[in-house]
Structure 1
């Protein structure tokens, strides 16, 4: 890659440790050794972290995304360490309790510009992690750009975004204005790897946890139609009829039908793992093959090409996400603990605004230096978002429940 892409927000002296590492290998090491990455081990993916030894956390999910990203990117010609960094880093900004926690923090953070896990990731990488003062991990321009799934700021009616207003300077340094909202190839690879990982793996976890039963889908046309209706407009712009054809093809695959009678036995777990492996490999290979069909087999990277994902494969991935939504997330949302999670985060933000002396030593000076209520609220949001699930519960118990 060019020297421009290897530049860091704050220039650093050249390092010669004897390893001959590239700037992007250093980036990867910085993410792997960061405190935020370690905390992902105790943050919810779909199921509450620690509730089952089989189920994924944000950390295991991020490792899986990094592995898929690296192999897919390398086959296309991307620097493998850049796509690896993007996969490892993409969820660093996610708060306690998964997307449920994200929605709660977005609600309470409206006065300071809202909350979004991907925008928070940029903030963690460029500001909050303790590596280089004023620059977070001080990653290279290429690695930061590859980690940015949504290269735009908050807009009304557009839930996903990748940068808060006060992080615009580093964002604008990272991405020249002429790029607009176009994403580099490495970011597209990471985004597709993320889709593949959480769609396939959330279904694997859901089947194992007995939330997802495939037999009704195999035997009940009405249930298949209801799933397609759920997915249309939620995870896909395709009409239900188009999704139905993709679902029929997916359910006809022997590796899927084999899982329909899952009973938790060793043989059943082998079959479940076979399904996840085959679907992951198929979704990745389809994207690599379609991209190379359009752009040729010569190496491509950065802004040389866009990732091409075949329509049927994209639809099947969306349908797997729909299964997790319909049979897992909605079931969990009906549980009392799900609403309690939101209350914990909202009340914790309020308590810290009233008693900022309880903030960590990292955040306390930032709160004291805030020039407005909005700036102070953003510091508190940063603090709460950094917590693990268990830490959020414990802080709430100490600062709110014990004083009620």
Structure 2
């Protein structure tokens, strides 16, 4: 049952371009469907989550990660009486602005664009949805509702210093960047934490980058849950059957902590509307203190053992080189851009900063494999090992 603090689709602040709403779907369900049908969402299939151009079929990529986050967010939203569609669309879109090669690609693109306003994936997601994706000749963008754009812009909290891309949208459609996001967006952000903590552990074990005994020695939370799994199935010696249960249990205890702490904060704040949530002065969705402390060793171990492992790190510099050289080559010679991107230059002007920003838009939209191939086509060489061309 919807709670008073949930976002009511019938009371949406609307769309930038007014249009008749669907008789079959709420405004947020319609926005979710628009996002799923977007080109940018499909491209997440070939964008790095942890592993650059993974050679295994079972490792997560941005698309599968986003789907897992959405599933968790929708479940939590249902339990808390929030709008499930809004939580889902924010979860599905939270990684939409990532360039190729994950954080390595973002770091490289930010350096390249620093003289022209910089780059951040959160602002770029808003730019994709309001400018770059177009499914109708009537206007640029997908014309999503205010609540979806607000949730995507600040799902990690108020934005004190927005970049140029977010500033541009906020200037024409104020998103109240100074306030807390709605509860659905808060839930989506925490669902992201739940998903990557559990699933990066799963992928790291599958890839052989993590040793379960070492993880248990370093992370008391995992050790306790692993002991419990083995005690519940004392006759099962196959780790391949037990580890998936461990991952499920990790997700379960994080969800339970989030629900308990969020209910406590809601009882204390007693918000009577979604606007009360935004004005609460702090997030109302959160993990309990004990869980927050228990997760720190897991994050530290993942960082020290997996994210900075030689297997992952060996492609970081080559990936950054691909992005930097793609940007430099196309910025120097915009005639090498595809036709529709050259048309954007003609429309917005070839002067800076727009020349650099349009080139940055193009590079940011590339998948890992397209970036590798396009770099090789334009430069005649590649710093990436041959096995990264998948």
Go from structure 1 to structure 2 and tell me whether the alpha carbon gap of 1:346 and 1:154 turns closer, same or farther (over 3 Å shift). farther
Number of positions where the alignment pairs a residue of Structure 1 with one of Structure 2: 362
Tell me the alpha carbon deviations over residues 345-371 of structure 1, each in whole angstroms, 9 at most, x when there is no partner. 000000101221222333221223325
Aligned position for 2:53: 49
Is 2:30 the counterpart of 1:26?
Answer: yes
Go from structure 1 to structure 2 and tell me whether the alpha carbon gap of 1:266 and 1:215 turns closer, same or farther (over 3 Å shift). closer
Is 2:196 the counterpart of 1:198?
Answer: yes
Q: Do the aligned partners of 2:229 and 2:246 also contact (CA within 8 Å) in 1? A: no
Aligned position for 1:331: 309
Q: Distance in 2 between matches of 1:58 and 1:254?
A: 28
From 337, 340, 362, the equivalent of 2:340 is: 362
SS in 2 for 1:308: coil
Aligned ranges for residues 132-151 of structure 1 at < 5 Å? 132=136, 134-148=139-153, 149-150=155-156
Aligned position for 1:385: 364
SS in 1 for 2:309: helix
Go from structure 1 to structure 2 and tell me whether the alpha carbon gap of 1:107 and 1:176 turns closer, same or farther (over 3 Å shift). closer
From 348, 351, 363, the equivalent of 1:372 is: 351
Aligned position for 1:340: 318
Q: Distance in 1 between matches of 2:190 and 2:240?
A: 26
More divergent stretch after superposition (27-36 vs 69-78)? 69-78
Q: Do the aligned partners of 2:123 and 2:165 also contact (CA within 8 Å) in 1? A: no
- TM-score, normalization by structure 2: 0.84
Aligned position for 2:251: 280
Q: Do the aligned partners of 1:8 and 1:138 also contact (CA within 8 Å) in 2? A: yes
Q: Distance in 1 between matches of 2:54 and 2:216?
A: 32
Q: Do the aligned partners of 1:370 and 1:376 also contact (CA within 8 Å) in 2? A: yes
Aligned position for 2:225: 253
SS in 2 for 1:253: helix
Q: Distance in 1 between matches of 2:227 and 2:129?
A: 39
Q: Which runs of 4+ in 1 moved over 6 A?
A: 297-301
Aligned ranges for residues 4-403 of structure 1 at < 5 Å? 5-16=12-23, 20-132=24-136, 134-148=139-153, 149-150=155-156, 155=161, 163-171=162-170, 175=174, 177=176, 180-219=178-217, 224=218, 247-254=219-226, 267-296=238-267, 302-305=274-277, 306-332=284-310, 335-368=313-346, 369-370=348-349, 372-401=351-380
Q: Distance in 1 between matches of 2:271 and 2:79?
A: 8
Q: CA deviation at 1:248?
A: 2.7
SS in 2 for 1:309: coil
Go from structure 1 to structure 2 and tell me whether the alpha carbon gap of 1:167 and 1:296 turns closer, same or farther (over 3 Å shift). closer
Tell me the alpha carbon deviations over residues 239-276 of structure 1, each in whole angstroms, 9 at most, x when there is no partner. xxxxxxxx4344223358859xxxxx993222111111
Q: Distance in 2 between matches of 1:124 and 1:378?
A: 13
Higher RCO (CA 8 Å, separation ≥ 6 residues): 2
Q: CA deviation at 1:292?
A: 1.3
Root-mean-square deviation (Å) = 2.8
Q: CA deviation at 1:327?
A: 1.1
Tell me the alpha carbon deviations over residues 17-63 of structure 1, each in whole angstroms, 9 at most, x when there is no partner. xxx11111110100111100100000110012342112100000000
Q: Do the aligned partners of 1:73 and 1:83 also contact (CA within 8 Å) in 2? A: yes
More divergent stretch after superposition (163-172 vs 386-395)? 163-172
Go from structure 1 to structure 2 and tell me whether the alpha carbon gap of 1:85 and 1:334 turns closer, same or farther (over 3 Å shift). closer
